[in-house]
Chains A and B, each alone.
Chain A
Amino acid sequence: MSATKDDLLWMYAAMVKARYYEDTMATVYMEGKKPKFDIGAGLVPGEMHLAAGQEPCAAGVCVHLRNDDTVTAPHRPHHVAIAKGVDLNRMTAEIFGRVDGLGGGRGGHMHLFDPAVNFVCSGIIAEGAPPAVGAALGARMNGRDAIAVSYVGEGAPNQGGFHEALNLAGVWQLPVVFIIEDNSWGISVPKSKSTAVADNAIRAPGYAMPGVRIENNDVLTLYDAAADAVARARAGQGPTLIEVETYRYYGHFQGDPEIYRPKDEVKGLKAKDPIDRLYHYLMDNQITDSSDLEAIAQRCREEVDAAYAFARKSPEPAPEAALEHVFV
């Protein structure tokens, strides 16, 4: 199957928007944290994990999803949230810890919840996989054809919870798509030193599901593989595991000294930038022209700029509001 023009342009927009969002955040996050970096100071609270370079993983899968499909994302969630259609204004306000945030400032960047599009996330490695299984189970028990997608980094398949989730999905043949974003680093530890196999997709047969490995951060091959996986899940044919080779342009977190990383690695990755490649694909195949693509990019930038403006204007929450919402 090859992508329709609409889907291609949708993916292009999702990737451009996510990239601009992260690059903007990289700058905004440092406001008030210079000249001396202090994680507890400045405009944006807390830790910050950015996903620039990983956009294909989000766009190539979420293009196939509906609002009623559930996505569970990890600590590096912005690109996935954007592709899933999370309210950008309220997401940004949440990251700023403001009253108009998705959680009124209680959760922050690693804990974004938008029930309108069934998006959740968690900062505990691999712990989104079992809840994705549960969401899929709930859909099936209610006779709905909604599916669930679990996103994790390549560090997560070394957790027990990940494997338990795969086995559950396999033995119950649930509509789950497991996506591993393999950026080859778990903080400072390379995959080769943490994982006994080079390709996590080969684990899939152990759980009675197909496994696919996408090389080169390629959104188009991922698009095809995810189309199959989502269609199978929706048709009641069970789960799929997809590992995507992807790139992490920034440090693990903003402020990461990255002493562990070869100096030129990022430069090499940027030379193969997935957004540039999609742009050239669209141009070379005369699917669209540069003015159209620029117009899309312009709209994305405006939307992101508006979200940051919204977040800046949103008030700080009242301190006592911290005591609300432990129970409902």
Chain B
Amino acid sequence: MPSSRKLTVSRAMSEAIAQEMRADPQTFVMGEDVGAFEGVFDSTLGLLEEFGEERVRDTPISETGFIGAGVGAAMSGMRPIVELMFVDFIGVCMNAVYNLAAKNTYFSAGNCKVPMVLMTGTGGGYNDAAQHSQALHATFAHLPGLKVVAPSNAYDAKGLLTTAIRDDNPVVYMFHKGLQGLVWMASPAGAATEVPEESYTIPFGEARTVRSGRDVTIVAISMTVHGALAAAEELATEGIEAEVIDLRTLVPLDRDTVIESVKRTGHLVVADEDYRSYGLTSEVITSVVEAHPDYLKGPPQRVAMPDIPVPYSRPMEDAMLPNAERIASAARHTTGRG
């Protein structure tokens, strides 16, 4: 019988990488502090020890250089897993991601492949201010040519990362710092889960219905899944049964699961830690309304980061981030019970 044990997201990620590195010598990791430090957010635990400096490479603080090098290595047959420590730092190296990784397959009519994983830490909630706290999901999802993944728990983190490493396309793997299970940062109880020891994949583009309910559909991703579940518990005490859907991947986006749920509930709330405008929340709502203008019986709701840089001070940040309370109040509003 296959065995499993409870792991943090960071352990699950590290295990996925180790298993793929054992299986395929073309796989390697590079990024800042991925070696002796084992990743600032523990995403490369034990890897230096097992695989050595050649395959677990600490880089200089040269994101333009080493992410561009990741693209080149991928196109020459390697399978690089490149870490961008905080997603906010994409500002210094976006070109390699959106002009090279995202486009080279298309330019070459599929003759060139870019099997690279860019894994990167997202999210706020620990008062690190606007250059270290963004989610930026939509920044990547908006750009054709990138698959975009954002797990909410350890089981998904391992399976999705394994799929990402085996994918022949560039995948942006966005892990939320507050879900990693770091000793120095709190994470929600549901983030660490049972994780099978053996390797497994989770297909991209398949959302998971985390909780069933008949009254309102709450669509969430990454950290907001935990807020949505807490909101659903709260709503249940008021007689509102919420269905919670964890999208798991932004690209490809599982529109069908959302539409099927909204068909039954008639109400939709979308929660995302990324900025409110031009983002995942609008995309999901539009996907439903465009296909089935008649399904919604109340105004769809977006619960997201307001269109401001993420503030530093704790009371400000707490008031701006999407949380259970705001998700619940959006659900009450759309169902006409609040």
Give residues in A with beta carbon < 8 Å to B.
37-41, 45-47, 97-98, 101, 103, 105-108, 110-111, 122-127, 155-156, 158-161, 186-189, 193-195, 255, 259-260, 316-323, 326
Contact = CB atoms under 8 A, between A and B. Distances in A.
Contacts of B291: none
B320 A159 contact: no
Nearest to B127: A45
Given A105-B316, A195-B60, A322 B32 contact: no
B91 interface: yes
A98 B89 CA distance: 26
Contact of A316 (B40, B128, B186, B315): B315
Contacts of B60: 155, 158, 186, 189, 194-195
Contacts of B59: 194
Given A40-B126, A159-B62, A195-B60, A187 B316 contact: no
Nearest to A45: B127
A320 B313 contact: no
Contact of B313 (A38, A45, A186): A45
Contacts of B183: 37
B313 A317 contact: yes
B311 to A, nearest CB: 4
Contact of A160 (B58, B62, B91, B309): B62
Interface string B119-158: 0000001111111100000000000000000000000000
Name the residue in A46, A159, A260, A322 with the highest tally of chain B Cβ atoms < 10 Å from its Cβ.
A322
Name the residue in B59, B128, B129, B318 with the highest tally of chain A Cβ atoms < 10 Å from its Cβ.
B129
B314 interface: yes
Contact of B129 (A41, A46, A155, A323): A46
Interface in B232-273: none
B184 A317 contact: no
A238 to B, nearest CB: 26
Contacts of A101: 313
Query: Mostly helix, strand, loop or mixed at chain A's interface?
Result: loop
A40 B91 CA distance: 25
A46 B133 CA distance: 10
Nearest to A158: B60
B186 A260 contact: no
B49 interface: no
A328 to B, nearest CB: 14
Contacts, number: 150
A123 to B, nearest CB: 4
A249 B64 CA distance: 30
B129 to A, nearest CB: 5
24 contacts: A39-B184, A40-B185, A41-B186, A97-B127, A97-B313, A98-B313, A103-B312, A106-B316, A107-B129, A107-B312, A123-B129, A124-B89, A124-B92, A125-B92, A126-B92, A159-B62, A159-B92, A160-B62, A188-B36, A189-B60, A194-B58, A255-B184, A317-B315, A322-B320
A106 B185 contact: no
A160 B126 CA distance: 30
Contacts of A193: 58
Nearest to B128: A46
B306 A323 contact: yes
Nearest to B307: A326
A183 to B, nearest CB: 14
B131 A124 contact: yes
A160 B65 CA distance: 8
Contacts of A160: 62, 64-65, 92
B114 to A, nearest CB: 21
Contacts of B36: 188, 259-260
B234 to A, nearest CB: 21
A46 B184 contact: no
Contact of A322 (B128, B185, B311): B311
B210 interface: no
Nearest to B64: A160
B83 interface: no
B224 to A, nearest CB: 17
Contact of A321 (B33, B40, B186, B316): B316
Contacts of A321: 316
A161 B307 CA distance: 27
B37 interface: yes
B37 A259 contact: yes
Nearest to A189: B58
Given A126-B61, A159-B92, A160-B62, A260 B37 contact: yes
Nearest to A319: B319
Interface in B287-332: 306-309, 311-320
B61 A194 contact: yes
Nearest to B182: A39
Interface in B54-74: 58-65
Contacts of B316: 97, 105-106, 317, 319, 321-322
Contacts of A316: 313-315
B314 to A, nearest CB: 5
Contact of A110 (B89, B126, B131, B315): B131
Given A105-B313, A108-B128, A322-B306, 17 more contacts: A37-B183, A37-B184, A38-B186, A39-B184, A45-B313, A46-B312, A105-B312, A107-B129, A108-B129, A110-B131, A155-B61, A161-B92, A187-B37, A189-B60, A194-B60, A319-B319, A322-B316
A127 B93 CA distance: 12
B279 interface: no
Contact of A106 (B92, B126, B313): B313
Nearest to A321: B316
B115 interface: no
B205 interface: no
Contact of A108 (B313, B318, B320): B313
Contacts of B314: 40, 45, 97, 316
Nearest to B129: A108
A131 to B, nearest CB: 14
A61 to B, nearest CB: 22
B35 interface: yes
A108 B312 contact: yes
